[in-house]
Amino acid sequence: MKIQRKEFLRHLESCAPGLSSTDNIEQSECFLFTNGKVYTFNDEVLCQQDTVVNFRCAAPAKPLLETLRKLTEDEIDISLKDSQLVIKCANIRQIKLNIQLDVIPHYESVDAPGDWSDVPPVFADALAMAADSAAKDSEAWELTCVELSSRGLQATDVFQAVRYKLDCPISKPTLIKRAACGAVNELGVAALAESAGWVHFKTYTGLQVAVRAYSGSLPDLSDAFRSESEASLRFPSSLLDALQKAAAFLADTGTGKQAQFRLKPGKIMVRGQNESGIYEEVRDVEYDGPPKCFGINPKHIQTLLKHDYPVSLTQSALRIRGENFVYLTSTENIV
């Protein structure tokens, strides 16, 4: 059958977060095609999407994705022959990909979602921001999660924290893994539903994602969010240029890239240090508080400058207040 290559590739790439290269579940490294849908399932994330092919097989994801990305034809002819997926391109090239005809439907262990409820348009951005503040790895497993409740989302790795206030149609406080949140990153979430042990998301593109849900709670950081301000801060727009120049030297921490800042009245130093070396640059800044140092992901600085959010410093943290969120990152006094 002839299909549009880019459309087919888009369907597969949207389901890629459900793939896994480990042996924790059979065929978790494959795209599973059946009944006009494509599935991926790695025991933590289930992705499903309507697609343009209607055959049944398990196709290894890596070679299929790499092949479709490298082809230049808009239209391809794809068919199933014996134990191979055959891709023909304008009678000039042919690719035969070994596949498995038997699909092992582990994804059927995930209960179907209950009633879908719409979420605010900002939900996907809020989820991504919360995930960035959770730990990639921690002995305290709750710190690797985002907490969803009817009041909104929150996450912390102890050194930084975020609370995002929004209406979230979930029945009780629930934790989902930071890594699972990436399954809907930049796609836009239209609706949410629940089933036993799972939270389900539906995107505007038709993708459905189920992520494993956990019971538990995050540390209570209410006091930190409510702390009184000691000083205010206004980052200069020139800071973006300094961060771009420092990019090659930024440390890759447990929660992503991080730039270090040193504040003193009227001055701010941007500092990056990793195995490549050290980068330092000093800029003028509107600040007259005590000397402080802190680390922060550069993307938060970009968002801050774009929207001109107010910034203050408490005794132990830098605090950014957005329209619906509060973000904290720990500070230290400089002697």
The span from the CA of 188 to the CA of 41, in Å, is 21
Joined tokens for residue 166 = 């929004």
Res 335: pLDDT: 65
Residue with tokens 């498995």: 100
- Nearest Cα neighbor of 151 from 160, 140, 164 is 164
Task: Give the chain's length.
Answer: 335
How far is 118 from 19, CA to CA, in rounded Å? 27
What CATH topology corresponds to 117-220?
Answer: DNA Polymerase III; Chain A, domain 2 (3.10.150)
Q: Which two three-digit tokens encode residue 70?
A: 């490298």
The Cβ-side half-sphere exposure at 290, using a 13 Å CA radius, reads: 15
| Measured distance between the N- and C-terminal CA atoms of the chain, rounded to whole angstroms | 71
Residue 200 in tokens: 């389900």
Cβ density class 318-332: b for 16+ within 10 Å, e for less: bbbebeebbbbbbbe
Check residue 193 and report its DSSP letter. Answer: E
pLDDT at 309: 84
Asked whether the beta carbons of 151 and 123 are under 8 A apart, the reply is: no
From the CB of residue 154, how many other CB atoms can be counted at a distance below 10 Å?
24
- Other C-beta atoms within 10 Å of 141: how many? 13
Render pLDDT for 29-86 as a digit per residue (tens, 0 to 9). Answer: 999 999 999 999 999 999 999 999 999 999 999 999 999 999 999 999 999 998 999 9
What torsion do the CA atoms of 20, 24, 25, 30 make, to the nearest 10 degrees? 20
> Which two tokens mark 309?
């959010």
What's the token pair of residue 83? 């134990």
**Rounded to an integer, what distance in angstroms lies between the CA atom of residue 282 and that of residue 107?**
53
Where helices occur in the chain by DSSP H, the ranges are: 5-15, 61-70, 123-132, 178-181, 222-226, 239-246, 298-307
Residue 53 to residue 74: CA distance in whole angstroms: 16
**Taking the model in full, what pTM does it have?**
0.88
2-109: CATH, from 3.10.150.10, 1.10.3720.10, 3.30.565.10, 3.40.50.970: 3.10.150.10
37 in Cβ contact with 112 (< 8 Å): no
Q: Which of 252, 279, 265 is nearest to 313 (CA)?
A: 265
Phi, psi (degrees; rounded to nearest 5) at 144: -90, 10
Burial grade of 45 (CB within 10 A; 0-12, 13-18, 19 or more): buried
Which secondary structure element, helix H or strand E, spans residue 54, and what is its range? Answer: none
Residues of the chain with pLDDT under 70: 254-255, 335
Task: Identify the DSSP state of 17.
Answer: G
Query: Residue ranges per domain, the chain?
Result: 2-109, 117-220, 224-333
C-alpha distances (whole Å) from 259 to each of 3, 287, 314 are 46, 19, 20
User: Taken in order 217, 108, 28, 16, is the CA torsion positive or negative?
Assistant: negative
**Can you identify the CATH homologous superfamily of domain 224-333?**
DNA Polymerase III, subunit A, domain 2 (3.10.150.10)
Q: Do domains 117-220 and 224-333 have the same CATH topology?
A: yes
